[in-house]
Amino acid sequence: MSQADLSVEMRPGLVGKRVKRTEDPRLLSGNGQYVDDIKLPNTAHVAILRSDQPHALIRDIRVDHAMDVPGLIAIFEAADLEGEVRPAIPSSRIKGYYATPYWPLARGKVRYVGEPVLAVVAESRYAAEDALALIEVDYEPLPFAIRQVDAVADDAPLIHEEAGTNIIIAREFGRGEVDAVFETAPVRVGAQFRMTRKTATSMENRCYLADYDRRRMAVTLWTSSNIPGIVKDALADSLSLPGARLRVIAPDVGGSFGGKGSLYHEEMLVCALARKLERPVKFTGDRLEELTASSQAFDELIDAELAVDEEGRFLALRAEVIGDIGAYSIYPWTAGLEPVQVVSFLPGPYRIEHYRGRVRGVLTPKPPTGPYRGVGRPSSTFAMERLVDMAARKLGMDAAEIRRRNLIDGEEFPYRTGSGIIWDKSAFMECLEAACAHLDYPALLERQKKAREQGRWIGIGLSCYAELTGIGSRIAVAPGMPINTGTETGTITIDSTGSVIGAFGIASHGQGLETTLAQIIADELGCALEDIEIRQGDSSLVPMSTGTYASRSAVIAGGVAIKTARVVKTKVLRAASILMDVPVEDLDASGGIIRARSSNAAMTFKELANAVYMQMGRIPHDKREDLTGSESYDPYLGTACSSCHVAVVEVDPETYGVRVTDYVVAEDCGRIINPMIVDGQVHGAVAQGIGAALLEEIHYDDEGQLVTASLADYLLPLATDVPDIGIVHIEADLPNNVGGFRGMGEGGTIGAPAAIANAISDALSPLGIEIQTLPATPDRLFRLVEQSRATHLQKGQ
Amino acid sequence: MSGKIDISVTVNGASYNRSVEPRMLLSDFLRHELGLTGTHVGCEHGVCGACTILLDGRSARSCLTLAVQVDGQEIETVEGQGSREELGRVQTAFRDHHGLQCGFCTPGFIMTITDMLHHHPLESDEQIRDALSGNICRCTGYQHIVNAVRELAKERGPLQ
Ligand code: FES
Ligand code: FES
């Protein structure tokens, strides 16, 4: 237990307490409502015929046999929706970028296996699939380059001819005299790093239900999305509907991790079809569709080099990155989201004067890459932290010591990195020390030494990183994206019965935001937790909203909850002052009761609401005001959230399986709202990082077909793959933000792959093995060990 | 695909008689015919365990079972384990230990654990993690679920 934990306990109020979640009773008793649980009368079901070709022209579609299937309503191709749907354009301010248009169905050409081609609509999903099975599509295959190294070549076949190139985005960041410093640097380390393609894989597959209200000519979409506000704005444009006639609701959502955080073809499709058919239309994705047609992640080739002096101080860093962005630039984040962040975050939490990062995003016939927990930073942290360990090894320096010498600290904050990111004060160094202390680092090194003497492959790996969270309006969450993701609106209403309704633009999908925002409001407003209902995940609640992503909700929605609650509290106390005949300054509220400090006078929120709204004359008519407030909050800049992970692994010399035996995370997420929820986020994110480090891999063969198309092939971490995770909370002050919260939902996924890769490299260091590709599957490790033994043998001869 | 077959099943103590297509999955039957949407489907190929129910007291994958196969049998789903107002014991342990986040995998875990508490030793964390390894949770990283099961197993005592 760290010191900081004590301070959590000592705080008055609910913020900082392990408050049990208000979401749980409904979810635990089977009363949750995910999109597929919603049943509307007369619903038509869509099955989607998807391309089985990576790159081809659609020559002919034959549906005759399908038309006789009982229950079939209609079959639609792109041409049938012409003029009814406009494409979504993922625009960006980045120069030279080409925005690939997003349509509901492929128009004339398919660009990846899994791309929607036809919508088969029937009275049941069973009937729709029966009909789908009888449709024949003739394709004329086109040449393609499935790997990014081939797709960047000048003569590579083009995925979007209109773009004139496959490289639709390129950026360069840097400062200083990088090449000159490298030339004279005493120590240089470098390699090509790669985290292979992966996908978010929430347990609920994507699901959409659209309803059309003929009376109002209005569309309501229920979507398993974490960005209902962005989806609404995109659909308003695409369907040419005013916002008043379009409502997008994300009810209970079964996880996203970014995979449900972009606009999808099928969302556009069900809305267009519901309007056309004038009845509800539902699409329920299955796991195969999730794996072949949801956004994917990572897949950059990172050639990176670090220059270091004899004392282990970092002098310069340079990198060339090619990101395989798939066949489209994702809406709204653009193709820059993942690869550009790799070069902007590569320098990490370290002091590095000279830096150059160049990135190119290249089109290949695969589903687009999009947001996935950590975005870009799992890969950048993996590359950087590997370089740090390689440098330490070359210098014979301890892994913790080399980090200590280079982490930004003390007076150096705020620090501007070589790519232009500004780190505000965060506990970089404290996290490193706390993580090492938690595991008793020196004892750990001893234990490893003994194990090594017995010939066991045990390794210790560290990783340090920082991320920008709760980003305000100064910069877009995705580079160059023109949507404002930095503002959040909140509305709090006390109604005539004394219920407190807080409405926000965020969209919780497992984070427990209904609980944490209620904790904040209860503290600030002084009402009882039980009287609060948090509404979220619904575009109709506030004038403009986006959703929950990029570790923004606790920071920005938490901030606006505080601001709004303060406004409402002022009104509550003003009314109470009249009703109780006590000066405002003498009143305070907590736990649902308004009390006078100097007398026994008290009244409940319920009594107050009743008096304000229902009892004529209790408050003079010219003094009466509704107990409501609506505010917005924009932290303007983002805030740094930092962390250090330490992993201990053992590699089995027979099976080459890797077991993570010990794990600790020391993290600074600012002021903690609910430590139980923070721990849960860390555990879950680290488990995903372990998946990325050891198991999860989306693999396309040379024919452009997805080989890992089921959960038996795309391996997710099980309870037996994840160890107990130790967590140390460090709550560094954050004076500039309302509430002092930092975002922390993504971090575990950023730190874990690097820590594990470093631990495996450490375990296999007697063989001189440096992990460069993740996941470190038994197959990859076996080959590395064989290679190393062969080289040693050769050298020996 | 016509030719429906009559089946009668007991679900959470209530009996139902229905006519179903032979190909209808038990998961679809529960969710869409009976409206018991607490049972979820995450993969429909037997890997994730979200669809786990109890079939005559033992855990089973409802996505790998046809409705016609369970004619005459007894089924329990998450809805039968407690109500919103009064959660059952396993559900309460999940809430106390924060064993759920998005809640999508949760019904499957609750049914698996209900079975395991009757039939598995669950004396060490290793045994607990083994018992849970047929269910995937993408949110929690399992630690809080393990904590909940540890408490439940302790309460139960050694397997009789
Ligand atoms: S839905 Fe049955 S095991 Fe996944
Ligand atoms: S709680 Fe979301 S998958 Fe388990």
For residues B73 and B104, membership in a common domain is answered with: no
For residues A454 and A600, membership in a common domain is answered with: no
For residues A557 and A601, membership in a common domain is answered with: yes
For residues B103 and B89, membership in a common domain is answered with: yes
Give the torsion sign (CA, A766, A769, A770, A774): negative
For residues B16 and B68, membership in a common domain is answered with: yes
Task: Report if residue A586 sits inside a domain.
Answer: yes
> Over the stretch A22-46, which tens digit does the pLDDT of each residue have?
999 999 999 999 999 999 999 999 9
For residues A226 and A273, membership in a common domain is answered with: yes
B89-97 and B143-156 helices cross at what angle (nearest 10)? 140
* B74-76 and B5-11 beta bridge pairing: parallel
Say whether B133 and A253 touch across the interface (CB within 8 A): no
Q: Domain containing B99: what range?
A: 82-156
Domain boundary among A601, A633, A665: A633
For residues B36 and B57, membership in a common domain is answered with: yes
Task: Report if residue A764 sits inside a domain.
Answer: yes
For residues A576 and A656, membership in a common domain is answered with: no
Domain boundary among B61, B80, B99: B80
Residue A470: pLDDT above 70? yes
**What is the domain-level CATH number for residue B129?**
1.10.150.120
Q: Give the number of domains in chain B.
A: 2
Task: Report if residue A679 sits inside a domain.
Answer: yes
* A56-62 and A109-110 beta bridge pairing: antiparallel
Residue A741: pLDDT above 90? no
What one-character DSSP code corresponds to residue A34? B
Which residue from A30, A255, A287 is facing B78, i.e. has the nearest CB?
Answer: A30
> Over the stretch A682-737, which tens digit does the pLDDT of each residue have?
999 999 999 999 999 999 999 999 999 999 999 999 999 999 999 999 987 776 77
Q: How confident is the model at residue A673 (pLDDT cuts 50, 70, 90)?
A: very high
Q: Give the number of domains in chain A.
A: 3
Q: How many alpha carbons lie under 13 Å from residue A203 in its C-beta half-sphere?
A: 33
For residues A670 and A753, membership in a common domain is answered with: yes
Q: How many alpha carbons lie under 13 Å from residue B100 in its C-beta half-sphere?
A: 33
The helix or strand, by DSSP H or E, that contains position A234, with its residue range, turns out to be helix A228-238
For residues B75 and B109, membership in a common domain is answered with: no
A652, two tokens: 């089995």
Give the torsion sign (CA, A770, A775, A781, A783): negative
Question: Which positions in chain A touch B40 (Cβ < 8 Å)?
Answer: 34, 203-204, 254
Best CA proximity match to A115, nearest among A365, A333, A320: A365
Domain boundary among A582, A604, A633: A633
d(CA A322, CA A360): 5
d(CA A276, CA A76): 11
> Over the stretch A227-256, which tens digit does the pLDDT of each residue have?
999 999 999 999 999 999 999 999 999 999
For residues A437 and A520, membership in a common domain is answered with: no
In this predicted structure, what is the pLDDT of residue A551? 80
Confirm or reject: Cβ of B48 under 6 Å from ligand 1.
yes
Which A positions 27-46 lie with beta carbon below 8 A of chain B?
A: 27-34, 36-37, 39
d(CA A732, CA A797): 57
- Among A170-179, A302-311, A542-551, A593-602, the range scoring the smallest mean pLDDT is A542-551
For residues A627 and A643, membership in a common domain is answered with: no
Scored b (16 or more CB within 10 A) or e, A396-412 reads ebebbebbbbbbbbeee
Neighbours of A278 (CB within 10 A): 11
For residues B46 and B111, membership in a common domain is answered with: no
Ligand 2 closest atom vs CA B102: 2
Residue A5: pLDDT above 50? no
Could you write out the three-class secondary structure of A563-622?
HHHHHHHHHHHHHHHHHHCCCHHHEEEECCEEEECCCCCEEEHHHHHHHHHCCCCCCCCC
For residues B120 and B137, membership in a common domain is answered with: yes
The whole-angstrom distance between B58's CA and the closest CA on chain A is: 19
Task: Report if residue A746 sits inside a domain.
Answer: yes
Torsion, Cα A62 A66 A67 A72, to 10 degrees, reads -130
Scored b (16 or more CB within 10 A) or e, A444-480 reads beeebeeeeeeeebbbbbbbbbbbbbbbbeebbbbbb
What ipTM does the predicted assembly reach?
0.98
In this predicted structure, what is the pLDDT of residue A1? 33
In this predicted structure, what is the pLDDT of residue A735? 67
Q: How many alpha carbons lie under 13 Å from residue A445 in its C-beta half-sphere?
A: 8
Residues contacting ligand 2 via CB (< 6 Å):
A 203, 255, 510; B 100-106, 137-140
Domain boundary among B47, B62, B80: B80
For residues A242 and A93, membership in a common domain is answered with: yes
Task: Report if residue A288 sits inside a domain.
Answer: yes
For residues A235 and A121, membership in a common domain is answered with: yes
Question: Which positions in chain A touch B66 (Cβ < 8 Å)?
Answer: none
Task: Report if residue A684 sits inside a domain.
Answer: yes
Question: Taking all residues of chain A, what is their mean pLDDT, rounded to a whole number?
Answer: 94
What residues have CB less than 8 Å from A6, skipping those under 6 apart? none
What residues have CB less than 8 Å from A366, skipping those under 6 apart? A54, A112, A146, A197, A296, A324, A326, A327, A700, A704
d(CA A761, CA A753): 12
Task: Report if residue A464 sits inside a domain.
Answer: yes
Q: Domain containing A512: what range?
A: 7-32+487-633
> Over the stretch B94-112, which tens digit does the pLDDT of each residue have?
999 999 999 999 999 999 9
Task: Report if residue A249 sits inside a domain.
Answer: yes
Domain boundary among B80, B110, B143: B80
- Among A7-21, A117-131, A568-582, B36-50, the range scoring the smallest mean pLDDT is A7-21
Place of tokens 């997710």: A716
Does A796 touch chain B if contact means CB atoms closer than 8 Å?
no
For residues B49 and B108, membership in a common domain is answered with: no
C-alpha pair distances (Å), A28 with each of A533, A678, A732, B92, B115 = 18, 20, 35, 8, 17
A637, two tokens: 């800049």
Q: How confident is the model at residue A475 (pLDDT cuts 50, 70, 90)?
A: confident
Mean pLDDT within A74-85? 97
For residues A774 and A682, membership in a common domain is answered with: yes
Place of tokens 């797709």: A151
Mean pLDDT within A484-495? 92
Among B61, B78, B109, name the best residue to mutate to test ligand 1's pocket (greatest count of ligand atoms within 8 A of Cβ): B61
The whole-angstrom distance between B157's CA and the closest CA on chain A is: 22
For residues A598 and A665, membership in a common domain is answered with: no
Residue of chain A whose alpha carbon sits nearest to that of B102: A510
**What is the domain-level CATH number for residue A560?**
3.30.365.10
Q: Which ligand is nearest to the CA of A287?
A: 1
Residue A411: pLDDT above 50? yes
In this predicted structure, what is the pLDDT of residue A796? 64
Say whether A680 and B98 touch across the interface (CB within 8 A): yes
CA A466, distance to chain mean position in Å, is: 15
**What is the domain-level CATH number for residue B46?**
3.10.20.30
For residues B44 and B87, membership in a common domain is answered with: no
Rounded to a whole number, what is the distance in angstroms from the first to the last CA of chain B? 48
For residues B65 and B87, membership in a common domain is answered with: no
Mean pLDDT within A775-781? 98
Question: Which positions in chain A touch B50 (Cβ < 8 Å)?
Answer: 203
Confirm or reject: Cβ of B44 under 6 Å from ligand 1.
yes
For residues A791 and A669, membership in a common domain is answered with: yes
Residue A513: pLDDT above 70? yes
Which residue from B47, B85, B141 is facing A684, i.e. has the nearest CB?
Answer: B141
d(CA A712, CA A124): 28
Residue A793: pLDDT above 90? no
For residues B70 and B133, membership in a common domain is answered with: no
Does A204 touch chain B if contact means CB atoms closer than 8 Å?
yes
